[in-house]
Amino acid sequence: MPAADELVATAETYPEADTTLYTVSVARNGVPVEPGGFALDVQQVVDAALEDLQTVGSSPADPLLVLNPFGTNTTGVYAQFETEDDGTLTYTVSSPGTEDFTRVAEDHDPSASSFEGQLIGVVPGAENTVTATWQPDDGEPTEFSFTMTAPPSASGDRTTLDRTVEGDAEELTDGLFAVMGLKRHVDYTLLYDNAGVLRAEFDLDGYRTDRLEFYGDTMVTTVGTNKVARIDGLGRVVATHVLTGYEMHHDFDVTDDGKVVTLATETAKGSVEDVLVSLDLRTGTFEKTVDFAELLADYKSRTQPYGPNAVDDWLHLNSVDWSPDGDSVIVSSRETSAILKVDDVHGSPEIDYIIGQRDVWAGTDAEDLLLEKAGDFPDTGGQHSVVRHDDESLADGQYYLTMFDNAFWRYNSRPDYTGSVPAEASPVLGADPSLRSKYRRYLVDENAGTYSSVESVPVPYSAIVSNVQDLGGPLVINSGQALTFAEYDAQREVIARFDYALEGTTENDFAYRVLKYEFDDFWFEGS
């Protein structure tokens, strides 16, 4: 009889390859388990199996290759071989009907005697030829190549998006578009290249990726409703943190000293989506740091639960952005169509200001916290992805806020409200092509107590979800319910648009966010 909770890893050859390509399976007490379940004991057994196999990787001409050993990236190929000197590994993935995908792989072995990395870019369900060249710092290059038919997409989603190029495709920034929170299969994140080809696929644990952040040499992301994982560049899960008593939703950020500040619902409370929890990645401890039901108690007393299940969703926070300036956060409230700044998040939190419709807050203790509008422009309606941008050209106390203005108005928690609504907001819940949402950029002047609109760009309408991402000039904008995202140049002209609707699933479908990442110094060698 096996010992209690005995884990055994078995290496086998992958049959759909023209070289020795391994897979690793794990059994617990004789029962197969998925290595992608983010259980650390399973990850450690896989890691030990890779160490046993590393005698195979004798040279750059004959490397050890293992398909997705840790279960976190369905077509990632772990590569390891012995070397005589430092060098670089450049590789190209070629697949029929797609553009070649070329990168320089990041070496995760600090010694000069071995290379260890992950080859990203294999297209699911297709024949792929990977050609790699190891160039030592001092010596002649060595090449190896292999051809494999990759396993099909685990999510079953599209391996190629519909791309419409409206500008110069060469102007697209480097990186991969991470399509997150697809409603049709929320527990996968799909990463597409600039040609719209699926190059990586994260298999999660029942919850979407809210975003990807990088801390040290690891990627930090949400993988379960109350679970945060840290994953290294090899795909290995190095830590998981379970936030017992809370359910995460919508967004998180990572502070400079390694704390994950995340929007959450406290499961023991009656209200939802109205607290901020801080997880210390160094210690694994976590605590509730901000309870908006306490900070806005007078306002909350005027609201009521709504919907068939009488949910007390009085604030509905949907984005958070942390700043070292006063240990502050900018949060977005969809229910009130408001943007709030909270100072001293890890000390004695206080609301510094609110941006939004004055009538919403009239007569409450929070009314005096409203910034004054400088100029004539409509306020946002149900906005998402509000991000602070500090700029050295601005005076102290000034900064920009960018956001996706959904231009949608829904105020269910106060059915007796008769005040003003944003001038251009619509009550249409969906993706009406006759309507427009907007990319918006505000200038906040804390010294003057004002905010002004400095940029507004119409984009496809999406009443809920959606996001914008400022890439330092170019923009990525996802209109979730319209099932489309695009990259814009610095003049706000569309370079290329990508449509991700899947036939038969468009009704009530969306992607929560699309964000672009370079993955330099993680999967790929940085410049």
Half-sphere exposure of residue 343, counting CA atoms within 13 Å on the CB side? 9
- Sign of the alpha-carbon dihedral angle for 299, 302, 306, 310: positive
Please answer whether residues 65 and 22 qualify as being in contact, where contact means their C-beta atoms are separated by less than 8 angstroms: yes
Q: Nearest-5° angle of CA 519, CA 520, CA 521?
A: 115
Domain containing residue 418: 296-451
Residue 57 has pLDDT above 90, yes or no: no
**pLDDT computed for residue 2 by the predictor:** 45
In a domain, residue 381? The reply is: yes
What pLDDT is stored for residue 1 in this prediction?
Answer: 40
Q: What is the mean pLDDT of residues 168-187?
A: 96
Phi, psi angle pair for 337, to nearest 5°: 50, 45
Q: Residues of the chain with pLDDT > 70: what percent?
A: 99
Q: What is the pLDDT of residue 115?
A: 95
Supply φ then ψ for residue 210, to 5 degrees.
-75, -35
Residue (of 89, 121, 94) closest to 105 by Cα position: 89
For residue 4, is pLDDT > 70? no
What burial letters (b/e) apply to 387-398, b meaning 16+ CB within 10 Å?
A: bbeeeeeeeeeb
Tell me the mean pLDDT in the region 119-133: 98
Asked whether residue 412 is domain-assigned, the answer is yes
Q: What is the pLDDT of residue 93?
A: 98
Asked if residue 340 is part of any domain, the answer here is yes
Residue 3 has pLDDT above 70, yes or no: no
pLDDT above 80 for 527: no
Sorting pLDDT into bands at 50, 70 and 90, what band is 526?
A: confident
Residue 506 lies in a domain: no
385 domain-assigned: yes
Give the pLDDT mean for 152-175.
96
Is residue 135 in some structural domain? no
Q: Which residues contact 308 (CB under 8 A, 6 or more apart)?
A: none
Cα 307 to Cα 295: distance, rounded to the nearest angstrom: 25
- Strands (E) across 370-425 are located at 372-373, 384-389, 398-405
Tokens of 395: 């005076």
Element of type H or E holding 299: helix 297-300
In the predicted model, what is the mean pLDDT of residues 355-369? 97
Which of the residue ranges 47-56, 158-167, 210-219, 500-509 would you say has the lowest mean pLDDT? 500-509
Q: What is the mean pLDDT of residues 223-237?
A: 96
Residue 59, phi then psi, degrees to nearest 5: -160, 170
When the pLDDT of each residue in the chain is averaged and rounded to a whole number, the result is: 95
* In a domain? residue 156: no
pLDDT value at position 317?
98
Neighbours of 87 (CB within 10 A): 20
CA distance 493 to 108: 39
Number of domains the chain contains = 1
Q: Give the residue with greater pLDDT, 37 vs 175.
A: 175
pLDDT greater than 50 at residue 519:
yes
424, pLDDT greater than 50: yes
Pair type for strands 328-333 and 350-355: unpaired
Residue 393 lies in a domain: yes
Residues 6+ apart with CB under 8 A from 31: none
Cα–Cα–Cα angle for 279, 281, 285, rounded to 5 degrees: 50
Range with the poorest average pLDDT among 393-402, 480-489, 500-509: 500-509
Long-range interactions of 309-316: CB distance < 8 A, separation 24+: 311/272, 312/270, 312/271, 312/272, 313/271, 313/272, 313/273, 313/412, 313/413, 314/271, 314/274, 314/413, 315/271, 315/273, 315/274, 316/273
Q: Give CA separation, 423 vs 311, 378, 427, 431, in Å.
A: 28, 5, 12, 19
* Tokens linked to 279: 């997880």
Q: What are 411's two structure tokens?
A: 């105020």
> In which order are the strands placed within the sheet that holds 227-232?
213-215, 218-224, 227-232, 237-242
Burial class (CB in 10 A: 0-12, 13-18, 19+), 137: exposed
What are the CA-CA distances from residue 119 to residues 66, 78, 105, 206, 520 (Å)? 10, 6, 7, 26, 13
Burial (CB < 10 A; 0-12, 13-18, 19+), residue 31, is exposed
CA 511 to chain CA mean position, Å: 11
